[in-house]
Chain A
Amino acid sequence: NAGVTQTPKFQVLKTGQSMTLQCAQDMNHEYMSWYRQDPGMGLRLIHYSVGAGITDQGEVPNGYNVSRSTTEDFPLRLLSAAPSQTSVYFCASSSGLAGVYEQYFGPGTRLTVT
Chain B
Amino acid sequence: DAKTTQPPSMDCAEGRAANLPCNHSTISGNEYVYWYRQIHSQGPQYIIHGLKNNETNEMASLIITEDRKSSTLILPHATLRDTAVYYCIVTSLKWVRDAGGTSYGKLTFGQGTILTVHP
Using CB atoms and an 8 Å cutoff, list the residues of chain A in contact with chain B. 4, 31, 33, 35, 41-45, 48, 50, 56, 58-59, 90, 92, 96, 98-108
- Chain B contacts for A106, CB-based, 8 A: 43
* Shortest distance from the beta carbon of B8 to any chain A beta carbon, whole Å: 11
B46 touches A102 (CB 8 A): yes
Known: A45-B106, A96-B93, A100-B49. 18 other contacts (CB 8 A): A4-B43, A31-B104, A33-B107, A41-B111, A42-B111, A42-B112, A44-B109, A56-B103, A90-B43, A98-B93, A101-B34, A101-B49, A101-B104, A102-B49, A103-B36, A103-B46, A107-B42, A108-B42
Q: Which of B43, B46, B103, B112 is packed against the most chain A CB atoms within 10 Å?
A: B43
Interface size class of B (residues with CB under 8 A): 20 to 34
- Chain B contacts for A100, CB-based, 8 A: 49
B44 touches A43 (CB 8 A): yes
A105 touches B107 (CB 8 A): no
A26 vs B27: C-alpha distance in the bound complex, in angstroms?
34
A101 touches B43 (CB 8 A): no
Would you mind naming 23 contact pairs between A and B with Cβ atoms under 8 Å apart?
Answer: A31-B104, A33-B106, A33-B107, A35-B109, A41-B111, A42-B87, A42-B110, A43-B44, A43-B109, A50-B104, A58-B106, A59-B108, A96-B93, A98-B93, A99-B93, A101-B104, A101-B107, A102-B46, A103-B46, A103-B107, A107-B42, A107-B43, A108-B41
- Chain B contacts for A99, CB-based, 8 A: 93
Query: Per a CB cutoff under 8 Å, which of A50, A102, A108 touches B43?
Result: A108
- Chain B contacts for A43, CB-based, 8 A: 44, 109
B43 touches A92 (CB 8 A): yes
Interface of B is mostly: loop
